[in-house]
């Protein structure tokens, strides 16, 4: 992140979108902040695109933490959604929060619950 800027997350998002724009435009890459998804129908194309993405990241002096990366997976949780081939659903862990939510007793509590519920 670009520390010291008041709009640091937005600046970083624009930076990531700019350096990966051609990949995003081709439809095989999606970026949200420092989360990058690569998706494909065949393993050969996937490996080729992964290599291109890693080269681009290296070219711009960025790096990945290997322990935070997942490669060649069929299912991933991304932004509170479970994504699989042909299937997108809400993360069951997040949904458990709705079931365990106490009944709101204040207007602020109702607003908070509705905001959470409307997201899902």
Higher pLDDT, 31 or 113: 31
Higher pLDDT, 114 or 51: 51
Cα angle 74, 77, 80; round to 5: 150
Helices 107-119 and 92-99 cross at an angle (nearest 10°) of 150
Q: Which domains does the chain have, with CATH numbers?
A: 1-72 (3.30.70.270), 74-120 (no CATH)
pLDDT at 101: 79
Render pLDDT for 10-58 as a digit per residue (tens, 0 to 9).
889 999 999 999 999 999 999 999 899 998 888 888 999 999 999 999 9
**Residue 118, exposed/middle/buried by CB under 10 A (0-12, 13-18, 19+)?**
exposed
**Cα 38 from Cα 71, distance rounded (Å):** 9
pLDDT at 80: 84
**Cα 21 from Cα 104, distance rounded (Å):** 44
Please enumerate in sequence order all residues whose Cβ is within 8 A of that of 21, keeping only pairs 6 or more positions apart, or say none: none
Start-end of H helices in the chain: 8-19, 21-26, 43-59, 92-99, 107-119
pLDDT at 35: 92
Render pLDDT for 66-105 as a digit per residue (tens, 0 to 9).
999 999 899 999 888 999 988 999 888 877 777 777 888 9
């Amino acid at each position: 992140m670009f520390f010291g800027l008041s709009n640091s997350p937005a600046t970083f998002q624009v930076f990531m979108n700019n350096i990966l724009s051609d990949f995003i435009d081709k439809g095989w890459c999606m970026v949200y902040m420092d989360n990058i998804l690569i998706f494909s129908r065949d393993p050969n194309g996937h490996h080729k695109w992964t290599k291109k993405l890693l080269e681009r990241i290296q070219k711009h002096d960025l790096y990945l933490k290997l322990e935070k990366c997942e490669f060649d997976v069929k299912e991933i949780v991304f932004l509170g959604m479970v994504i699989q081939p042909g299937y997108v659903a809400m993360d069951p862990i997040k949904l458990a929060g709705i079931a365990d939510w106490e009944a709101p007793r204040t207007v602020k509590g109702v607003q908070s619950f509705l905001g959470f519920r409307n997201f899902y």
